[in-house]
Amino acid sequence: MWIFLGIVAAIAVFAISVYNGLVAKRNRYKNAFAQIDVQLTRRHDLIPNLVETAKAYMSHEKGTLEAVINARNTAVSGLQAAKADPSDPEAMKKLSQAEQGLSGALGRLFALSEAYPDLKANQNMMQLSEELTSTENKVSFARQAFNDAVMIYNTARESFPANLFAVTFGFGPAELLEIEDEKKREVPEVSFS
């Protein structure tokens, strides 16, 4: 009888330990996403100021400026959906796509700004560009920390015997946040002429 109670108690302690470990890992990736939220919100808040500064110099580039604002608004709504549930794969994919679209629109804006020397020399534009670049770096670091936490969580929930408890207690998989930059995938052209 005592042996049976000892085995039941050991199983209960083990189940509690596994459950608490999964909760801790889930909370780590949610906290890591909160850091992404802070940085992306900062990025999104900088963009209207950047567009307003550029408007004064690029009045006939209205389509590009509107594209940046539309991409920013899409990214803000994607962030809100992902913030509501960072484990939702569909919300993470939408956020990733929205951020890729925003990066593309910003890239076009900066490419066009090269044709406007007064805009490039504008102190506000230079400061906003620097802040945006700094924020982009912080987003990259926060995204890496989030993806690491998601990987640790997913590995823990998929490993035996924790996977038995994960299914029982409703610990679903978490989705990585991948914001692809197509330029990073391109092979650089080298010319020796």
Q: What is the pLDDT along the chain (193 residues), one digit of tens a residue?
A: 889 999 999 999 998 999 999 999 999 999 999 999 999 999 999 999 888 888 877 777 888 889 999 999 999 999 999 999 888 889 999 999 999 999 999 998 888 888 888 877 788 888 888 999 899 999 999 999 999 999 999 999 999 988 988 888 889 999 988 876 555 445 445 444 4
Q: Is 9 exposed, middle or buried (0-12, 13-18, 19+ CB in 10 A)?
A: exposed
Would you say residue 22 lies in a domain?
yes
Distances (CA, A) of 153 to 49, 124, 131, 148, 176: 38, 42, 33, 9, 11
Q: Which residue has the tokens 């038995």?
A: 164
What pLDDT does residue 188 have? Answer: 46
Would you say residue 185 lies in a domain?
no
> What are the pLDDT digits (tens) for 135-167?
999 999 999 999 999 999 999 999 998 898 888
What pLDDT does residue 185 have? Answer: 46
Q: CB under 8 Å to 22, separation ≥6 — which residues? A: 153, 156, 157, 162, 165, 166, 169, 171
Would you say residue 183 lies in a domain?
no
Would you say residue 58 lies in a domain?
yes
- Which CATH number characterizes residue 61's domain? 1.20.1440.20
Distances (CA, A) of 37 to 3, 44, 94, 108: 51, 10, 14, 24
Q: Domain limits at 165? A: 2-177
Would you say residue 193 lies in a domain?
no
Would you say residue 182 lies in a domain?
no
Q: Report the domain count for the chain.
A: 1
Token pair for 110: 């900066």
Would you say residue 184 lies in a domain?
no
What pLDDT does residue 124 have? Answer: 82
Would you say residue 20 lies in a domain?
yes
Per-residue b/e over 152-166, b at no fewer than 16 CB within 10 Å? ebbebbeeeebeebb
CA angle 127, 133, 135 (to 5 degrees): 100
Residue 46: name the closest of 72, 71, 81 by CA.
72
What pLDDT does residue 192 have? Answer: 47
45 C-beta neighbours (distance < 10 Å), count: 13
